[in-house]
Amino acid sequence: MAFATKHPMSRVVSLASAVALSLATLVPMSSMAPASAAPQAAPSSQWIKSTNYKYPGNDGKRHKVTWDKYSYKVDGQRLNIWSGEVHYWRLPSPNQWRDVLQKMKAAGFNAVSFYFFWGYHQSAPDAPFDFSGVRDMDLLLRMAAEEGLYVIARPGPYINAEISMGGMPAWQTNSALPLRTAWDKTNWKEQRAWLRAINRILARHQVTNGGGSVLMYQAENEELFSLGPYADYVKKIIKAAKEDGINVPIFHNDYAPLSNWAFNTKDTGLDVYSYDDYPIRFDCSAERQELSDHNWHIDPAFKAANNSPHFIAEAQGGAFTPWGASFNASACEKFVDANFYRQWAALNNGAGVTAFNYYMIFGGTNWGWTGSAHSGFTSYDYGASITEDRNLRDKLSVQKENGYFHRAFPQLVVMDATSDPAVNNVYGAKVKSYLRTSAGMRNLSMSGKGSQYMAFRLASSNDTTLTKFTTSLTTYAPNGQKVTFNRVPQEGQLILHGRDALQMPVDFTIGDWGAYYSTGLLFFNSSMKGRPLAVLTGTAGDRGEIVLHAPTKPVVKSGNKSVTYTWDKTKKQLRINYDWGFPYDIKVSMKGKAPLTLRIADRHSLIRSWSPQNWLNGKIQGILVENADLVRSVRYEGTTAHLVGSTTKPQNIKIWLPQGITNATWNGQALPLEKAGTHYRAALPGPAAVSVPRLKWVKHEEGYEANPNFDDSRWRVANIKHPKNFRQGPGFFQDVVLDANAYNFHEGDIWYRAHYTAATDDPAIWVKAFGAPGSNFLVWMNGKYVGASAAVKGSVADTGLDNESSKDPTANLAESPKSISFTVPRGTVKKGQKVVLSILLRNNGQRVDWEGTGNNLHAMGVLDARLGNQGKVTWKIQGARGGIHPVDNVRGIYNNGGLYGERAGWHLPGFPDNTWKPAATMHASKPGVTWYRSDFTLNFPANQDVMLRLNVKSKRFHPNRKDKARTVMFVNGWNVGTWVGNVGPQESFTIPAGFLNRNGKNEIAIAVTAEGTGYGPETIQLGVIGNWLGSIPWKENKAPGYQQLKHNLMAAYPQIRMATVKQS
């Protein structure tokens, strides 16, 4: 994702692999009570296996991937690529990868984009690459192929993605030169090893090799400069990819539509050009920026890319939320809302975009220390259409509308731009219009001369003026005669409801019927029971219009009183007008044609309408289901349609079945159907109610390292004076490198201890430190608390509130260290006395390097200090146990920092806490660290997907965020995230499904670091955020507990002498 600029498959492919969903009790409609009283699911642990759907991504055959200026093609079949970005590490629950992929496919997507996070797979330069468990990339790619999704692979090495080091491993901070060039041979050798490892996996899964659905490959990510060493670097990455067997199209994503990589595409070895576009920016508390049109294939700057399909590799699907923001992800959901999606779709379809990837479709969680604090906190929900908890937001329906439109009107994939259509009789604001005309697939038009596409939005995308207008169009009749409509619609007007858009197909077919135009979006277009069926959608209450070719007198019937029609015998045109509202039918019959059904449905009703597809009698055939929370897939067998789906409550659904299909199942169980005209009705059960226990806590204080007598003899001595990376120091006053990265302590809390002799009584001290936004540090001298400070200059961490004077959230992402002086309490030390200065610093996460200048190589931790010492100072440093060789290889390097409790395993399941004291609150009894532990038992029904969160309750957090405390939270040993009570904004934390034992005991450990007495939450409790019937099977991640790791950990509790430090 670009930091500074913010930054379906066509008919050849359909929904694959229904998976793993449980049985549900179903009842006949004739005996069915209202939906609110529908029966609950019978307990069952039986899961439905994958469908037997085949497409080029999983049929085991080699396929040829080509392209022209219109689109990508597989074996000559054009693809309108409709993709969304998913980050597997932000969903550390491999079974639930499939859940998200299925939800994407159900919503009309035919592709998924994956970044691959090098640092997640290799903790140290001498460590092996880990592709097991939550890092199993073969499994991820198999799932995508099984679910009918092509893969856009983006392995870096640098990926940005708002993650630690931009995806590069933290140990590369000890490098002399910027990492996004090939200047440093050692760096490149390490990067080449990563590329070799990941490329071998990707190569096995390429469409071209018959091993999977990898369709495209991105080399590097958003390089600002396309010349010199940067171009050379990208060229080396491309060369490596080809050496490793990558033979699908290779592209690089320009950070904005600037043509930076268009002119030298061939020189670098790139096959095609693409760019990123985040038009409305990222401050979810501010006004959106204006949408602007793409000049693809018109602007001379893109001339060199004219044989590339119009490809937006990252298109705004949400926005990240910085530390200290006044808003949370819910604000970003509204900022990047359904209206924007609709405008964005019309603009991009109007610009001929045929390869499009939403960043993000599912955001996920920056669990542990995987995220970069410079771009956000634990939640990476992003305001995306699928929430961090895997629930569905209503705005997903707009993306579904467009994905289904691609299927219903596939000729959109090969069209040329023509002069913008006329906008007439305008009442309201200025209107922007688009017109495209078929350059192929003309057989899908009514006339045989080719379809057209029209779209409209307000010229100012932020304008909320209700605007009415008309247009005109010229098309052709089936006999080839030119037909002009001087006013469209012929009755009433087109209406834009402010931030809105309209898309109109022109000259198309519905079965054996021909249509001149429709003012409603085509959502579904197929034949059901041998009769053509089209679903048209628009805004509730507005008037719609469709003109059909009718050479003989038609019969039009509808129970909806808004429907009117006019047949012009001379022109052979049937015009039907109607109001959009709750779905209803208009039935049209005419001699010589199969009866036509037009299903009129307002946009809101489509939130719960679904049309999965699969093979039937050698053709791709969709099914239509209304009033369902989620229909994941369909598989046809004999006369039965096997449906797979999920519900959040009991519901009555409507189903339209194709010819030859008379029966249905739901999640593997027979679904009783009741005939209701051209469709069927059925009842689905909802999930059983679930609850979670109230947590009871026990506590134990730590912070032993603040005691001057703590044994730090085995700590790393900070003695580097000449680092390879000049950014690491040394500091002017200490003349020794204190940067934690230099000693391979990269994540979380870090302890420093300085041993020296005081030059005066109670000497004042000055500390310079950096720990990223949201960070802090605490200071003790000879065991006496001195104070605390933010560990970043000018950031929200100083005040606890974001800088409201700036409407760009990136302005708060401070990059400067904090320098601060402390006054030592009187009587702490005397001149000549031995001093032990203890500093606990929170490193909230490594930087990214969006600019490519080495920004992710900057020092982290204590950087320098003036201590009022006489003679030598000896510094000791301690971070996570094992550093870049973590004790816990399963959870990995990003799971733990250097708190004593972490190094001793207090966070692990099975740690013996029987001597800990009950805790009525989490308020601190003194400055420092206190641990809290609790356990609870879950017993969820096997066929339900229950999403849980940890909710932090602090009265000081609202409204001014004055709780000077921060937490690190572990569930069954996995680091769920961090709460910062004087910065915020996050206070509710997703628990990834793989961290939980859904049918048994679970253990939670919380470390609360308080800057003073009384700070800290009142409590932290569990909450249910989602409950679905029809679930991918849960599977708890296999990871070691305390008993398996204790021999490699610190002693559970240290033995510390209580003698005072003597004066020398």
313 pLDDT exceeds 50? Answer: yes
Angle between helices 137-146 and 185-204 (to 10 degrees): 40
What's residue 130's pLDDT? Answer: 98
Given this structure, which CATH class describes domain 412-607? mainly beta
Higher confidence at residue 156 or residue 796? 156
Output the six-digit token pair for 241. 């990819």
Domain with CATH 2.102.20.10 in the chain: 412-607
| pLDDT band, residue 298 (cuts 50/70/90) | low
What's residue 46's pLDDT? Answer: 41
Share of the chain above pLDDT 90, in %: 84
What's residue 267's pLDDT? Answer: 77
What's residue 349's pLDDT? Answer: 98
Q: Are 721 and 729 in contact (CB under 8 A)?
A: no
Mean pLDDT of the chain: 91
What's residue 226's pLDDT? Answer: 84
Residue that the structure tokens 């200490």 belong to: 734
Q: How far apart are CA 108 and CA 814, in angstroms?
A: 40
Under CATH, which architecture does the 703-795+812-878 domain have? Answer: Sandwich (2.60)
Summarize pLDDT for 176-199 with one digit per residue, the tens. 899 998 888 889 999 999 999 999
Query: At 245, is the secondary structure helix, strand, or coil?
Result: coil
11 pLDDT exceeds 90? Answer: no
What's residue 646's pLDDT? Answer: 97
Over residues 713-741, the mean pLDDT reads: 95
Query: At 145, is the secondary structure helix, strand, or coil?
Result: helix
What's residue 301's pLDDT? Answer: 59
Show the beta-strand stretches assigned E in 19-71.
65-67
Q: What pTM was estimated for this model as a whole?
A: 0.94
Given this structure, which CATH class describes domain 899-1044? mainly beta
What's residue 724's pLDDT? Answer: 87
What's residue 227's pLDDT? Answer: 83
Query: Which has the minimum average pLDDT: 234-243, 713-722, 852-861, 866-875?
Result: 852-861
Q: Are strands 501-510 and 452-458 parallel, antiparallel or unpaired?
A: antiparallel
Give the CATH superfamily of 74-392: Glycosidases (3.20.20.80)
801 pLDDT exceeds 70? Answer: no
Residue that the structure tokens 């805004």 belong to: 539
Q: How far apart are CA 755 and CA 21, in angstroms?
A: 61
What's residue 1057's pLDDT? Answer: 61
Output the six-digit token pair for 372. 């970069």
What's residue 364's pLDDT? Answer: 98
Cβ partners under 8 Å of residue 164, min gap 6 = 119, 170, 369, 370, 371, 372, 746, 747, 845, 846, 894
92 pLDDT exceeds 90? Answer: yes
Q: Maximum CA pair distance of the chain? A: 113
Higher confidence at residue 9 or residue 454? 454
Over residues 977-992, the mean pLDDT reads: 97
| pLDDT band, residue 793 (cuts 50/70/90) | confident
Q: Are 13 and 74 in contact (CB under 8 A)?
A: no
18 pLDDT exceeds 50? Answer: no
Summarize pLDDT for 645-660 with one digit per residue, the tens. 999 999 999 999 999 9
8 pLDDT exceeds 50? Answer: no
Query: Which has the minimum average pLDDT: 125-129, 436-440, 849-853?
Result: 849-853
992 pLDDT exceeds 80? Answer: yes
What H or E segment, with its residue span, contains residue 975? strand 974-980
Beta partners for residue 254, in sequence order? 275
| pLDDT band, residue 304 (cuts 50/70/90) | low
Q: How far apart are CA 385 and CA 379, in angstroms?
A: 15
Over residues 997-1019, the mean pLDDT reads: 98
Over residues 110-128, the mean pLDDT reads: 98
Higher confidence at residue 948 or residue 815? 948
Domain with CATH 3.20.20.80 in the chain: 74-392
What's residue 163's pLDDT? Answer: 97
Over residues 619-643, the mean pLDDT reads: 97
Summarize pLDDT for 244-268 with one digit per residue, the tens. 999 999 999 999 888 888 766 667 8
Cβ partners under 8 Å of residue 664, min gap 6 = 640, 641, 642, 643, 655, 657, 671, 673, 680, 682
Number of C-beta neighbours around residue 562 at 10 A: 15
The conformation of residue 299, written as its DSSP 8-state character, comes to: S
Beta partners for residue 804, in sequence order? none
Domain with CATH 2.60.120.260 in the chain: 703-795+812-878, 899-1044
Q: How far apart are CA 375 and CA 367, in angstroms?
A: 14
What's residue 52's pLDDT? Answer: 62
What's residue 51's pLDDT? Answer: 54
Cα-to-chain-centroid distance, residue 505: 31
Summarize pLDDT for 400-412 with one digit per residue, the tens. 999 999 999 999 9
> Which of 1-34 are b and which e, b meaning 16 or more Cβ less than 10 Å from the residue's Cβ?
bbbebbbbbbbbbbbbbbbbbbbbebbebeebee
Over residues 789-803, the mean pLDDT reads: 59
